[in-house]
């Protein structure tokens, strides 16, 4: 006995409109399924070498970047009194466990009390080396003006990204996997460092946060950018105006001074145009003899 169900012709015809609608919907969905909108991660193009350091971790062992060369490194500047720093510790511990053979997380504590740091390391079960940061290391990394600050270093020892503040742990893992050539559900883009990683590269920037130079000519804009990189901000940060705008877009001192420079250059240009004599009419040709 044949147990294969039989579809009567009239039943098929009755269901045909539903099949057609289904095929139409599938046709609309296939392009979306084939090319989903992937999230984007960004790495520096032609990254700078990460400055090495020679420190002692809390256990008294030597700690340097050179000793972990060949691994991806997350260099995390943090402090025990920093709430966001403490909040991301569990995710860093999990990340170190997951990729322990090819990833090395290093914590640099910006604290005055090593005993307080040791207590947090023990209570949180931190599984990566932690050392007390020095002023020299802070300076080498461009000045650490906010915590947490995390530098992403590739296996060649170059800084490809910098994160300031509390970030999604999934982002860190995606970046680590990308640098380890593991599959990721993200698109990788590159960018030139114009001060986002090292403030010393602020002189490469053609635009600064909160500074409108659209009224200037291209030549005037270059003059303005030169002044932004030559003049120091008066807010006390000891950075240039350009560096301060990149590092602290909320700073009213650098914002107001940069706006004043733009107005000065624009006004000077308008004055020059007003003072330029009109083109003299052509001299009449002398009468022919």
- Is the dihedral angle over the CA atoms 204, 209, 211, 214 positive or is it negative? positive
- Of the residues 85, 233, 244, 251, only one is catalytic, namely 85
User: What's the Cα-to-Cα distance from 227 to each of 177, 223, 232, 283, rounded to whole Å?
Assistant: 41, 6, 9, 44
Interaxial angle between packed helices 89-98 and 114-124, expressed in degrees from 0 to 180 and rounded to the nearest 10 = 60
- What's CA 131's distance to the chain center, in Å? 25
CA distance 243 to 254: 9
**In terms of Cα–Cα distance, which of 61, 86, 65, 85 is closest to 75?**
65
**In terms of Cα–Cα distance, which of 54, 55, 44 is closest to 158?**
44
DSSP assignment of 62-97:
EE-SGGGTTSEEEEEEE-TT-HHHHHTHHHHHHHHH
DSSP state of 203: G
User: Cα angle vertex 51, ends 46, 55, to 5°?
Assistant: 155
**In terms of Cα–Cα distance, which of 230, 231, 235 is closest to 248?**
235
82 is an active site residue = yes
Half-sphere exposure of 16 (CA within 13 A, CB side): 7
Which residues are catalytically annotated?
Answer: 82, 85
């Amino acid at each position: 006995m044949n147990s294969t169900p039989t579809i009567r012709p009239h039943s098929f015809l009755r269901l045909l409109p539903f099949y057609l609608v289904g095929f139409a919907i599938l046709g609309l969905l296939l392009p979306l399924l084939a090319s989903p909108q992937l999230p984007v991660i960004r790495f520096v193009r032609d990254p700078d070498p990460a400055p090495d350091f020679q420190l002692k971790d809390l256990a008294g062992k030597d700690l340097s970047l050179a000793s972990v060369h060949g691994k991806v490194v997350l260099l995390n500047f943090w402090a025990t009194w920093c709430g966001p720093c403490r909040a991301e510790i569990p995710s860093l511990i999990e990340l170190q466990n997951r990729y322990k053979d090819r990833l090395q997380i290093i914590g640099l504590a910006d604290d005055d009390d090593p005993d307080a740091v040791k207590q947090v390391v023990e209570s949180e079960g931190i599984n990566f080396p932690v050392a007390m940061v020095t002023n020299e290391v802070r300076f080498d990394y461009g000045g650490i003006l906010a915590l947490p600050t995390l530098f992403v270093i590739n296996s060649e020892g170059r800084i490809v990204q910098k994160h300031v503040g509390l970030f999604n742990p999934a982002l860190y893992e995606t970046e680590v996997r990308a640098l380890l050539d593991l599959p990721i559900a993200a698109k990788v883009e590159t960018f030139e460092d114009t001060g986002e990683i090292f403030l010393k590269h602020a002189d490469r920037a053609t635009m600064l946060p909160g500074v409108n130079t659209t009224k200037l000519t291209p030549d005037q804009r270059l003059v303005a950018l030169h002044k932004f990189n030559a003049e120091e901000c008066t807010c006390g940060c000891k950075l240039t105006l350009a560096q301060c705008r990149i590092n602290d877009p909320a700073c009213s001192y650098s914002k107001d001074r940069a706006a004043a420079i733009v107005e000065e250059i624009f006004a000077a240009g308008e004055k020059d145009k007003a003072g330029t004599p009109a083109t003299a009419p052509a001299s009449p040709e002398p009468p022919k003899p």
